[in-house]
Amino acid sequence: EAGVVQSPRYKIIEKKQPVAFWCNPISGHNTLYWYRQNLGQGPELLIRYENEEAVDDSQLPKDRFSAERLKGVDSTLKIQPAELGDSAVYLCASSLDRRTENIQYFGAGTRLSVL
C-alpha cells in the first residue's frame, strides 16, 4: 500500500514568488492535515480537512496561505507571496477518520527555501 505522497520534495524560490505543494493521502483516508515544521522544532498544524471540508484552519495564515481539497482526495497548499520566514518543511498527513484521527501517517514533506 502506498503511503502519503508529497511533491515536490524540494523547492527553492525567491521571496514574493508564489509556490504550491501537492499531497496525495493514503487511499480511503478521509482526514488530511497540513503541517509546517521549522528547523529544530516539531511540526505545527496549519489546517485539517474532513473530506472536502476544512474543519480546523485556525493556525493557517490566511493573508498569504490557502489550501484546497477538491473531491476530498488530493490537496494543495499555496503560499502567495512567499516570505523569507516561510522557509520550512511542509508536511502532509492523513488518517482514516475522526475515530482514529490521532494515528496519522505522514509524507516525507516538501522542503521550501525562500531566498
Partner 1 sequence: DAKTTQPPSMDCAEGRAANLPCNHSTISGNEYVYWYRQIHSQGPQYIIHGLKNNETNEMASLIITEDRKSSTLILPHATLRDTAVYYCIVRVGGEYGNKLVFGAGTILRVKS
Question: What are the residues binding partner 1 (CB under 8 A)?
Answer: 4, 40-45, 48, 55-56, 58, 91, 93, 98, 101-109
Identity of the residue, 8 or 18, whose beta carbon is nearer to partner 1 in the bound complex: 8
How far is residue 69's CA from residue 73's CA, in Å, rounded to a whole number? 6
Shortest distance in whole angstroms from residue 73 CB to partner 1: 19
Shortest distance in whole angstroms from residue 91 CB to partner 1: 5
**What's the grid cell of residue 107?**
509524507
Shortest distance in whole angstroms from residue 14 CB to partner 1: 24
**Strand 10-13 relative to strand 110-114: parallel, antiparallel, unpaired?**
parallel
Identity of the residue, 36 or 86, whose beta carbon is nearer to partner 1 in the bound complex: 36
Identity of the residue, 59 or 81, whose beta carbon is nearer to partner 1 in the bound complex: 59
How far is residue 30's CA from residue 7's CA, in Å, rounded to a whole number? 20
CB atoms within 10 A of CB 67: 20
**Does residue 76 sit in helix, strand or coil?**
strand
